[in-house]
Amino acid sequence: MTLLATAMFAGALIVAGVGLLAGLHTAMVQSLDGTARERLKDVSSIIKEGRLGSLITSNHGDIDVTLVLAPDGEVIASSYAGAHTGGDRGLPFPLPAELGAGRLMTLTDLRIGDTGDFRVAAEQTRVRGRPATIVVAMSLRQAERTLSLLQTILLAGIPVLTALAGWMLWLTAGRTLRPVETLRRQATEITATDLHRRLDVPDSHDEVHALAVTLNEMLTRLDVASAAQRRFVGDAAHELRSPLAAIHAQLEALANYPDPQRDAQVASALLEDTERLHDLVEGLLDLARAEGPAPQRLYTVVDLDEVVFAEARRQRALTERVIDTRSVSAGRVRGDAHALRRVVRNLLDNARRHAKRHIRIALNRRQGTVELVISDDGAGIPPADRERVFERFTRLDEARSREVGGSGLGLAIVSGIVMAHGGTVRAEADDAPGQGGLGGARLLVRLPEERES
């Protein structure tokens, strides 16, 4: 990581250095071009005023060379002492034919002074009624020296700066990553059996501090989930132990003490315990599916009112209690049809076990949600237990629940399925019978409504 950052820094320095050299070269050339144009204007003004002599004054020595040439190449006037009249041989350098008015060119190795490269500009004019050309040459020697010095400095400085930056990055990365390495080492030492351990949080309030806090919060959630899983396994084993022990005892009685008059009763009891065991296993499987991620591809549009009516008919065949569905109206949701049917069935099973004579079902649409309410005229749920009833293996009346075959998983399954569908479920007290309620428990489920497109 440090090597990569150092290489990137070196690359950035090289790009910046090349850009600096190119920019400085362009700026210097533009400055010389501006001076050359100003020089052309000055000489043109001298010619127009009739003050042109054979020698043109120059303030820059060999840096600024000005010539006034006749069409045949004769030097009419010059700021360069080495130039003289006499045709082409009077020129200190060959004049390119493509050099026109207003155009600047770079000519190399000109024989002016100590020779060198020059920026050359030319302009057509008339001297004493005859055509002439003004030529201005600006030396690039000073600019080339400046650029050469800067290039030398960059060539020597970039490796030094790169080494210094690499050293600084190594120190900074080491100081920054040392707490990260401590967190990594401590995290590798934490196993599934000691999730109660926590990582050391550094004193610095930076990203590493935030990372340590986040990891500790994650460990807390894992610890809570692990403890809940252990409790679930223990509760499931405890629930399975009773029917298995009963089945085992009755099978021993059949094997060791056969009695034709009693065998039919034992077989009936075995069948009852087996059915209870089957219901418990099915409940555990449904709970596992409810608490797992639901595949969205299985979600369809479900007419919840049809599910309610179908489950109400099923319950009427199982009980003599009155099941009132007059308050059920249309309601559509999106979800797993089998799971939503399980929600309605578990709620009705719960109401049937606790109701005395009446069960009421209501289904309405309200503010983008579908509300399912199932009430009964039983003993109700105490306020302190209205959240606990949705936990696994919760029985408010152990003896009565076991007698009627409750496993303590029905409402836990309801809660898991509803939450997986983005809804909520809660237990409330129904209104007193004199106020229109049944006086028992009231379970309210809210699910997002599926609107018609």
pLDDT at 402 over 50: no
pLDDT tens sequence across 190-233: 887 788 888 888 887 778 888 888 888 998 888 887 777 777 77
pLDDT tens-digit map of 46-60: 888 888 877 777 665
Q: Which residues of 362-381 are buried (b: 16+ CB within 10 A; e: fewer)?
A: bbeeeeebbbbbbbbbbebb
Residue 83 to residue 75: CA distance in whole angstroms: 7
Q: Which residues contact 189 (CB under 8 A, 6 or more apart)?
A: 197
Rounded to 5 degrees, φ, ψ at 74 are -70, 135
Question: CA-to-CA distance for 422 and 448, rounded, in angstroms?
Answer: 7
pLDDT value of residue 448? 93
Mean pLDDT score of the chain, rounded to an integer?
79
Helices (H), 115-259: 141-189, 207-256
User: Do residues 333 and 304 touch, judged by C-beta distance below 8 A?
Assistant: yes
In this model, does residue 177 exceed pLDDT 80? no
Total Cβ atoms within 10 A of residue 303 = 14
- CA within 13 Å, CB half, 352: 22
Two tokens at 67?
């010539």
Least confident of 81-90, 157-166, 356-365: 81-90
List for the chain the helix, strand, coil content (%; round to 5).
55, 20, 25
Q: Sorting pLDDT into bands at 50, 70 and 90, what band is 362? A: very high
The model's confidence at residue 399, banded by pLDDT at 50, 70 and 90, is: very low
The dihedral of CA 138, 143, 145, 151: what is its sign? Answer: negative
Average pLDDT over residues 82-111: 63
Look up residue 220 and give its two tokens. 């807390």
Q: In this predicted structure, what is the pLDDT of residue 152?
A: 87
Residues 109, 144: Cα–Cα separation, whole Å? 13
- CA 154, CA 222: separation in Å to the nearest integer? 56
Residues 6+ positions from 340 with CB-CB distance below 8 Å: 302, 304, 307, 333, 417, 421
Average pLDDT of the residues in 325-338: 91
Of all residues in the chain, the percent with pLDDT exceeding 70 is 82
Q: What is the DSSP letter of 437?
A: S
In single-letter form, the type of residue at position 451 comes to R
Q: What is the mean pLDDT of residues 420-435?
A: 78
Range of 3-7, 234-238, 313-317 with top mean pLDDT: 313-317
Across residues 350-375, what is the average pLDDT? Answer: 91
- Give, rounded to a whole angstrom, the gap between the first and last alpha carbons of the chain: 53
Q: Identify residue 276 by its one-letter amino acid code.
A: R
Q: Is the predicted pLDDT of residue 87 greater than 50, yes or no?
A: no
Q: Once rounded to an integer, what is the mean pLDDT over residues 295-316? A: 85
Q: What is the mean pLDDT of residues 34-43?
A: 85
Angle between helices 207-256 and 260-291 in degrees, nearest 10: 170
The CA-CA-CA angle for residues 439, 441, 446, to 5°, reads 125
The two three-digit tokens of residue 246, written as one number: 């009963």
Report the range of poorest mean pLDDT among 82-96, 243-257, 286-300, 353-367: 82-96
Q: Out of 168-182, 185-199, 359-373, which region has the weakest mean confidence (pLDDT)?
A: 168-182
For residues 426-430, average pLDDT: 84
Is the predicted pLDDT of residue 442 greater than 50, yes or no? yes
CA pair distance 103, 167, nearest whole angstrom: 51
Strands (E), 45-139: 64-69, 75-78, 104-110, 116-127, 130-139
CA-to-CA separations, 2 to 5, 181, 446, in angstroms, rounded: 5, 16, 55
Confidence band for 440, pLDDT divided at 50, 70 and 90: confident
Asked whether residue 89 carries a pLDDT value surpassing 50, the answer given is: no
Tell me the C-alpha distance between 322 and 56, whole Å. 123
Residue position matching structure tokens 């497109």: 453
Strands 322-328 and 358-366, sheet pairing: parallel
Q: How is residue 447 written in tokens?
A: 């699910």
Give the single-character DSSP code of 275. Answer: H
Q: Which CA distances in Å does 50 have to 37, 126, 161?
A: 20, 11, 59
Query: What is the pTM for the complete model shown?
Result: 0.51
